[in-house]
Amino acid sequence: MSVRVVGPLEERLRANRDAGRKLLVPYVTAGLDEGWLDIVRAVAAAGADAVEIGIPFSDPVMDGPVIQEASVRALARGTTPASVLAELARADVEVPLAVMTYVNLFAHAGYHRMAQSLAAAGVSGAILPDLPIDEAAEWMSEAEAAGVDAVQLVAPTTPEGRLLRICEASHGFVYAVGLLGVTGERADVANSALVIARRCRSVTETPVLVGVGVTTPKQAVTISEESDGVVVGSALIRRLLNGEGPEGAGAFIGSLREALDDRWPGTQE
């Protein structure tokens, strides 16, 4: 393996994890409403270790009804990749930001140009759920050159050798998809979430976060027994769609933070 360059996203996540803290990464759909950046700031202030910024796409095949609805609303407001990055460039958020979207928006702009634009906007990571590792070489090298961590995903169906390859290639963190299915709230923790986290952690030092289906503070704790933390999307977005706003978002993420910190006090800041 060549020397692995660790970007600012991974650097921060590793540092927080190594301090004994579980990682909490909320997902916010960019452009959801006029005040969406206040939501980003609110979840950062409530204890997020990084924030995933969803750039809305017309055909989000990995997303369930809640994030689909948020994407539709954001697109209807005229949100574009360029408008999101322009707003992020002016936003002052004290935690690292990773964008999450679909590969066509990057391919359309051109991987080189998109990687440069992300870096210029202060974005330090990117997650593309429809760009599996076999197709990702060109994007990963452009991202690395721009100092953007290209996060890779593993799924419950990923076989062993491939899982190792993905974990080695992933920058920022390893996104472990906790169940077979699209984003959305779930009543229970799938056993697959625990298994996939364990499998990834046994082969990599890179932080392993479980996403998809993480709904309650209790579930976040259960999953974090095996992972380095969680990504929370639909459970937050549903509250935002219901009009809860930055305060509601902060309160919800705060409740997740508290549950994780109660279980893993670590070295408190």
Partner 1 sequence: MTAATSMMGEPNEAGRFGEFGGRYVPESLVPACLELERAFHEAWDDPLFRSELNELLHSYAGRPTPVTECRQLSSELGIRLMLKREDLAHTGSHKINNVLGQALLAKRMGKHRFIAETGAGQHGVASATAAALLGLECVVYMGEVDVKRQALNVFRMQLLGATVIPVTSGARTLKDAINDALRDWVASVESTYYCIGSVVGPHPYPFMVRQFQRVVGEEAREQCRVILNGEDPDLVVACVGGGSNAAGTFAGFADTKARLVGVEPEGGAANGHGVAGIVHGMRSNFLQDESGQIEEATSISAGLDYPGVGPEHAYLAAIGRATYESVSDAEVLDAFQRLARTEGILPALEPAHALAWIIRATEEGKIAQGERILMTLSGRGDKDVAEIMELLS
Contact flag: residue 108 with partner 1 (CB under 8 A): yes
Q: Which is nearer to partner 1, 44 or 209 (CB)?
A: 209
204, 186 contact by CB (below 8 A): no
Site for partner 1 in 209-268 (CB under 8 A): none
Which one of 134, 187, 243, 268 is in contact with partner 1 (CB under 8 A)?
Answer: 134
Contact flag: residue 188 with partner 1 (CB under 8 A): no
Distances (CA, A) of 133 to 48, 163, 170, 207, 215: 27, 10, 9, 18, 28
| CA angle centred on 9, ends 6 and 10, rounded to 5° | 45
Which one of 32, 154, 167, 197 is in contact with partner 1 (CB under 8 A)?
Answer: 154
| CA angle centred on 237, ends 155 and 61, rounded to 5° | 40
Contact flag: residue 76 with partner 1 (CB under 8 A): no
206, 167 contact by CB (below 8 A): yes
Contact flag: residue 157 with partner 1 (CB under 8 A): yes
Q: For residue 105, how many other CB atoms are within 10 A of its CB?
A: 18
Which one of 30, 123, 166, 190 is in contact with partner 1 (CB under 8 A)?
Answer: 166
In whole angstroms, the minimum distance from the beta carbon of 20 to partner 1 comes to 30
Site for partner 1 in 45-74 (CB under 8 A): 57-62, 64, 68, 72
Contact flag: residue 180 with partner 1 (CB under 8 A): yes
Contact flag: residue 130 with partner 1 (CB under 8 A): yes
**Residue numbers annotated as active site:** 52, 63
Strand partners, 232: 26
Cα 182 versus chain centre, distance: 14
Interacting stretch for partner 1, rule CB under 8 A, among 98-106, 227-235, 237-245, 250-258?
98-106
If phi over 0 gives left and psi between -120 and 50 gives alpha, with beta otherwise, what is residue 237?
A: alpha
Contact flag: residue 16 with partner 1 (CB under 8 A): no
Distances (CA, A) of 219 to 21, 129, 181: 16, 23, 17
Nearest to 220, CA basis, from 235, 199, 205, 207: 235
Q: Can you read off the two tokens belonging to residue 37?
A: 């950046």
Contact flag: residue 75 with partner 1 (CB under 8 A): yes
Where do contacts with partner 1 occur on this chain (CB under 8 A)? Answer: 57-62, 64, 68, 72, 75, 80-82, 103-105, 107-109, 129-135, 153-159, 162, 166, 177, 180-182
